[in-house]
Structure 1
């Protein structure tokens, strides 16, 4: 047996946290293979791991609102996802039989990969990109999260290792943008309507704020003409821009949240699902952000000026910069593979 095989759910927020851990293992001389969609191949190779393309990849999408058209498309997405996951299970079984890795690292969203590994007697380590989910997960569980961001209703034992945030090295934007910067990003899964983005444009037009919006599934052209202080693109270099950001308007996905915490950026939270709402409640309770209710501009200005939020963010940022999370996660994986 040699090396490790990583099996994420094939979406940005699930693949990206695994990459720093894979890089640490490769640097320590451990072979690493990762089974994911073909669009991630370059990023996987970039950390020195071997990319194993999944046979099928489904669309990852959630509509901005519910109507007949969205429901029909969502049904197609879910059907395609089920087919893709069955194909992934077959690919995993073949990969595990051929490679006999020391351990398989599995996202809880793809449990069939864990089942295939256990049939062959290969150790399984769970890797949750957000919350620890259920305490019923057997064996070692790595969680890409600070422990205080977890919902308080669960109590987890020594098998659960909160090793986050697992972030890629930050790139810096240059030159600095004028005025306070509002960064708006709804994430790569949850679509937003043109109305959502236009309301922000209207509030911040002709203000001293610079606004950068990542529209994701929505074509920026649907927003119409934009004022000089607003730029909209489908994708923006979020991690780099956060180094310049004054307030971050986010859906509250764990990767986005922890990238903001690493840069001590206060968050204006507009969550879309139960997991994001749970994270948002923790952030508000810790005075690291506020829920978006009413005027985005008023809320952004209050957050930017709040000394308690600034102090709380700086305290978390110091802890994040002091930690060596990827190395800790890699060491835990090696110990789990050895049964120690």
Structure 2
């Protein structure tokens, strides 16, 4: 076995600001602690929380790497005490608390999964953050069932393309919103019954027409702001609204009478601060329920674009155009 290097290239956040604050640095290669594995990174997913962290709005949890990057794929390079499942050389993908924009990254073993044989490392790096998030929020918190109506906003985002496919795969009828005709076409191709171009149409009216006035059963929203009231008006009786972000603001005014009369459930979550055991439980559910769908090809991992690790700033710039359809991934040539 080759000896591990003492240092590695990583992308650090120097200050707060635009993509230009993402700067390559030499850092010590981290050693895995108890229950951890060290991954020689081949690819790292780029996610909206990385952009927020770069702007100083989403700091890393205490005690974890301040480097950006919440998901990676690669091979096991070292194993910490008590980590039993994987061995050096295994192909894995993992949800991280940070540190993914680097040649080596630490992961908690419970939040680490094997890479299916027919899945590329670029695709694998795009799985953990979005698929863990969608599974937990849509199927566990939102309790989406076969035959129900499901609305997901941001249909062409990494979360959106995942939610559309998984909801359709489990028998739900999917409505989504997106910001152009091209994005809407992509969403329908992935399994949406109807894609609403929010620059041209009001999703509340489309939902009302499609469901014959009944409304949808579950909504997954990362917009917040004035979408919250519109979501509430779009829900059916006993509907569930799940918020995982608030790009248009987290403070809103809600007519609770409508919530009471329709017996609605308003909930939400964030993954990064959850304990390892919670992430491990979600990982096992994804492994049992979702990975077989990916392995069979029934569910795809749409990749918008890839960038070398040293071009992480360009990847962030791409994300901030909001023109991407699917995931943006960094490739690590080590």
TM-score normalized with structure 2 length? 0.29
Q: What is the TM-score with the length of structure 1 in the denominator?
A: 0.28
With CA pairs under 8 Å and 6+ residues apart, which has the higher RCO, 1 or 2?
A: 2
- Structure with the larger strand share: 2
